[in-house]
Amino acid sequence: MSEQTKDAPETGGPYAHYVLATLVVIYVFNFIDRHILSILTEDIKADLGATDAQMGFLFGTVFAVFYAVFGIPLARFADVWVRRSIIAGGLVAWSAMTALSGLAKSFPVLACRIGVGIGEAAASPAAFSLLSDYYPRNAVRQ
């Protein structure tokens, strides 16, 4: 048995399904967190005195730019480092930034949502790579 085969995770089976279920839960929170500002826009504008332009810039342009800019290097990083740690670090980062944005008393503090984009950018590439470790390549029938 080669060193690489010995260290490789077992493909398929109950643990692979556990990993998949865990990643689905993380992605659900990722999705909810990504769209929570658009759901609460009117209340946030009233509370912080923000304009439509500021809100649109924050959950549109800024989020997308940081998500895309950090997504590429984080995807490369997922190929060479511990994927579980990347996913966990991203989860901690975007959760912390979400909590901080919940405490915002002004629009500039709410701009910490940029960190949400960076944290969430870590999740997808590392998750796809991690799933490829646990499920055999020939699992999809043609």
For the stretch 56-94, pLDDT in tens is: 888 777 777 877 788 888 888 888 889 999 999 989 988
pLDDT tens track for 3-34: 444 555 667 788 989 999 999 999 898 888 87
Q: Tokens standing for 79? A: 């190929």
Cα-based distances in Å from 90 to 24, 30, 54, 76, 79: 15, 10, 25, 15, 15
DSSP for residue 2: -
Q: Answer whether residue 115 is part of any domain.
A: yes
Residue whose structure tokens are 């740690």? 85
The pLDDT value given to residue 20: 92
> Which stretches within the chain are classed as H helix?
3-7, 13-39, 41-48, 52-56, 63-80, 83-102, 107-110, 113-121, 123-134
Q: What is the pLDDT of residue 8?
A: 56
Quote the mean pLDDT of the chain.
82
| Domain annotation covers residue 5 | no
Residue carrying the six token digits 């499920």: 135
Report if residue 64 sits inside a domain.
yes
In a domain, 2, yes or no: no
| Domain extent at residue 32 | 11-133
Q: Say how many domains are in the chain.
A: 1
Q: Are 134 and 14 in contact (CB under 8 A)?
A: no
* In a domain? residue 142: no
Whether residue 20 is contained in a domain is answered as: yes
The residue among 49 and 62 whose pLDDT is bigger is: 49
Q: Is residue 118, in this structure, part of any structural domain at all? A: yes
Residue with tokens 């085969």: 5
